[in-house]
C-alpha cells in the first residue's frame, strides 16, 4: 500500500509497503509520486520478487555496480558486454532455465575454448547470485550445469631463440629504453625473471620496489593476498633501465595497448601459438630448477603447491640432465 504526503519543502514523499518490503522516494510533483508508487506495487509479487527484469538487465546491473569493485574489472566489463550481445540476454529472468545455458554453451564452444567457457560460466553464476540477492529471482541456472571438459594445461615453452626474435621485433638492444616498444620488451624479460602476471607487472608502483633489498611488493594479486616477489640480478638490472623513482607506475605504458603491440611483435617475428602469459609457464619452469617447491609457491602466489603442476613444464630431457 502506498502512502503519499507533502513535505515542508513542497516536494512529495511516497512510501510503498507490501509483503514486508518497504520502498520510498521523493518527487517534485504528486503525479510523479503516484505513478512511481503504482509501478513499484506492480513489480512486487507474492514471493517478494521484483518482476519484469530480463537476463540482460541483470548483466547490465552487475556490469555497472559490481564489476567496478572487482580486480579484473577491465576484462570483466568486456565479457559482460559480450553476454549482453547474446540472445540469452533477452530472456525474462522468471523464464530462464538451465537448458537455455546448455544452448549458450554449445554456441560458445564454436567461438572459444572450453576453459574460457568455464570461466564465463563462473562469471554468469556470480551474476545470478547477485540477482538472487537483489530479489530479482530465486534461481541460479548455472548450479549443477553440465560443464565442458577443460583442455589439458598449456605446455608452451619459450626458447632463447624466440626471446631473441621478440626483442629484435621490439627494437630492444637490452640496454636502452626510449620507446613504448622498449618498455614492453623490458616487461617481457622481467616476466621471464619473476613469473609475475601481466596485470601485476603493469600495476607495479615504484614505491613498492625495493632494489636494495631485491624484491617488489604486490598488493593486488589474483588470489587477493599481498606477496613479495624476490628479484634476480637480471630483474634488478631491468628495473634500473626504467629510471627508478620514489613513486609512480614502473611500466609507463598502457597495458591493453601494450598487449596489442606485443602480439604484433610476435607476428613480425614469425612466432605462433605464444601469449604473454606463457612467460609465466617459462619462468616457473626455470625457477623450479633454482628454488625449493615451497619457496616457488610463495614467489608465484600459489596457495596450493599442486597447482604448480599446471605451469611447471620441464621436459624429460631437461630432468635427465639434472640426474647425473
Please tell me which residue in 106, 207, 222, 277 is annotated as part of the active site. 222
Residue 106: CB atoms within 10 A of its CB come to: 11
306 is catalytic: no
Helix 180-194 with 255-269: angle, nearest 10 deg: 90
Catalytic residue among 23, 119, 302, 312: 302
Nearest to 196 by CA among 177, 209, 207: 209
**Catalytic: which of 53, 63, 281, 311?**
311
Of 132, 166, 150, nearest to 62 by C-alpha is: 132
Instruction: Decide if 311 is catalytic.
Output: yes
User: Is 290 assigned a catalytic role?
Assistant: no
Q: Out of 181, 197, 280, 281, which one is annotated catalytic?
A: 197
- Among the listed residues 59, 63, 182, the one whose alpha carbon sits nearest the alpha carbon of residue 128: 59
Give the residue from 281, 272, 275, 271 showing the smallest Cα distance to 153: 281
Q: Which three cell numbers stand for residue 201?
A: 607487472
Q: How far is CA 35 from the centre of its chain?
A: 41
Residue 103 exposure: Cα atoms within 13 Å on the Cβ side: 8
Tracing cell 529471482 back to the chain, one arrives at 137
Which DSSP helix (H) or strand (E) runs through 103? helix 98-109
Give the residue numbers marked as catalytic: 197, 222, 302, 311
Amino acid at each position: 500500500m502506498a502512502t503519499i504526503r507533502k513535505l515542508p519543502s513542497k516536494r512529495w514523499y511516497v512510501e510503498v509497503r507490501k509483503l514486508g518490503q518497504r520502498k520510498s522516494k521523493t518527487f517534485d510533483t504528486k503525479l510523479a509520486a503516484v505513478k512511481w508508487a503504482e509501478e513499484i506495487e506492480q513489480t512486487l509479487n507474492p514471493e517478494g520478487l521484483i518482476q519484469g527484469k530480463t537476463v540482460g538487465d541483470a548483466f547490465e546491473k552487475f556490469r555497472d555496480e559490481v564489476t567496478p569493485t572487482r580486480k579484473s574489472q577491465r576484462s570483466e566489463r568486456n565479457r559482460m558486454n559480450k553476454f549482453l550481445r547474446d540472445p540469452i540476454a533477452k530472456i525474462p529472468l522468471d523464464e530462464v532455465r538451465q537448458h537455455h545455458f546448455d544452448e549458450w554453451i554449445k554456441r560458445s564452444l564454436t567461438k572459444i575454448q572450453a576453459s574460457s567457457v568455464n570461466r564465463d560460466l563462473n562469471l554468469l553464476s556470480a551474476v545470478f547470485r547477485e540477482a538472487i540477492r537483489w530479489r530479482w529471482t530465486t534461481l541460479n541456472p548455472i548450479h549443477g550445469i553440465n560443464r565442458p571438459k577443460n583442455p589439458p594445461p598449456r605446455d608452451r615453452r619459450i626458447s632463447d631463440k624466440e626471446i631473441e626474435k621478440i626483442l629484435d621485433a621490439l627494437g630492444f638492444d637490452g640496454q636502452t629504453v626510449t620507446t613504448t616498444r622498449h618498455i614492453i620488451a623490458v616487461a617481457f624479460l622481467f616476466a621471464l625473471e619473476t613469473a609475475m602476471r601481466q596485470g601485476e607487472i603493469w600495476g607495479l608502483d615504484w614505491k613498492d620496489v625495493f632494489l636494495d633489498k631485491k624484491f617488489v611488493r604486490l598488493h593486488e594479486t589474483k588470489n587477493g593476498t599481498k606477496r613479495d616477489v624476490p628479484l634476480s640480478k637480471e630483474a634488478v638490472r631491468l628495473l634500473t633501465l626504467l629510471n627508478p623513482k620514489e613513486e609512480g607506475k614502473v611500466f609507463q605504458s598502457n597495458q591493453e595497448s601494450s598487449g596489442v603491440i606485443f602480439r604484433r611483435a610476435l607476428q613480425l617475428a614469425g612466432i605462433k601459438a605464444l601469449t604473454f602469459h606463457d612467460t609465466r609457464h617459462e619462468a616457473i619452469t626455470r625457477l623450479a630448477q633454482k628454488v625449493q617447491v615451497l619457496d616457488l609457491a610463495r614467489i608465484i602466489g600459489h596457495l596450493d603447491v599442486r597447482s604448480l603442476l599446471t605451469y611447471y613444464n620441464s621436459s624429460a630431457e631437461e630432468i635427465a640432465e639434472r640426474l647425473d
